[in-house]
Homo-oligomer: A and B are copies of this chain.
Amino acid sequence: MTSDPTLPSWRPGPTRDAVVRFLNDAESLPLEARVACFDNDGTLWCERPSYVQLDFFVDALRSRSRQDPRLDDRPEYAALLSGDPAAIHTIGLPGIALALVELFEGMTPDRFTDEVRAFLSRGTNHRLGRPLSRCTYQPMLELITELRRRDFTVAIVTGGGTEFVRAISHDLYGVPPEAVVGTLIDYTYGRDDSGRPTLRRAGTPQGVANEGPAKVSNIQSQLGRRPVLAAGNSGGDRDMLEWATAGAGPGLALLVNHDDSDREFAYRGTAETFAEVEPITDVAARSGWTVISMANDWQTVFSED
């Protein structure tokens, strides 16, 4: 029997009770069933005013554009560099994401990792006035620690780029790269001019973006096990949350509700269900998920230095 959970940043109440109940119930599970999957953006760390990965891409694009101004001619890059919301909206985030993948074509994975880490170490969330590395949610870090004490394998299942999140997952969450499931890119394996083996990023993604039902299939492909805890905050997490609670034994689906305009942001994700778009919190209520009110359930929001 593991000792009582230590979740000091969670306020007492029904949400914390549900988490503690799950942690206690999970001790009945065989070790190999103890798998927890966390979405990253908006679930483990702040995703507003913009995704950190997008900030990283724009930063890299600015730096490359100074070297090679012809990059500005490409509409996707021009829209990003100008920061014009209308131009970005017209092209759409999927098209921009594809163009950004091409920006790193030919780069080695190690170099990419170094660039991501350098950006994270110097980047700031200006709206929050916090370094990016301190925009993680302290209550979630405490939950991860408690899960590990119970021999859970803790994984990150992100719609973002796998390599991007892997570059920071160990330092931020203690999660090793093989436990990060995200949107993959292709690689090209060959030899350089001196005959040395080289692996380089290709300019194309591998499969579809890791959102919705793809999260479930990719969890199976890459982790090989069904989670019994899944945490998310948006429609792209819906299938994963349903899957985590589809078994006969203990299961917990956690939804972070961003209702805290004082300490973070107030916004609500949506999900397409029954051919209509409804608030993800409505889906949660119907599905028996545990909704975390950031304003009410968390005593502390952000991790401190």
Contacts and interface: CB of A to CB of B under 8 A. Distances in A.
Interface in A186-201: 186-187, 189, 196-199
Contact of A223 (B170, B177, B198): B177
B170 A224 contact: no
B163 A224 contact: yes
B196 A216 contact: no
A269 interface: no
A166 interface: yes
B189 A224 contact: no
Determine how many copies of this chain the complex contains: 2
Of the four ranges (under 10, 10 to 19, 20 to 34, 35 or more), the interface on chain A belongs to 35 or more
A6 interface: no
A223 B184 contact: no
A163 B180 CA distance: 18
A196 B246 contact: yes
A216 B239 contact: no
A110 to B, nearest CB: 8
Contacts of A224: 109, 162-163, 166, 177-178, 180
Nearest to A243: B197
A222 B213 CA distance: 19
A217 interface: yes
Contacts of A268: none
Interface of A is mostly: helix
A176 interface: yes
Nearest to A179: B178
A199 B217 contact: yes
A65 interface: no
Given A177-B225, A225-B177, A187 B246 contact: no
Contacts of A153: 176, 178
Nearest to A224: B177
Given A184-B221, A197-B242, A224-B178, A189 B216 contact: yes
B170 A189 contact: no
A296 interface: no
Nearest to A170: B32
Most-contacted residue by chain B among A184, A196, A213, A220 (CB, 10 A)? A220
A100 B263 CA distance: 55
The 6 closest A-B CB pairs, nearest first, are A177-B224, A197-B246, A187-B217, A189-B213, A166-B224, A189-B216
Given A162-B221, A178-B223, A222-B222, 6 more contacts: A109-B224, A180-B224, A187-B216, A187-B217, A189-B217, A199-B217
10 contacts: A109-B224, A187-B217, A189-B213, A189-B216, A189-B217, A197-B246, A198-B246, A199-B216, A199-B226, A199-B243
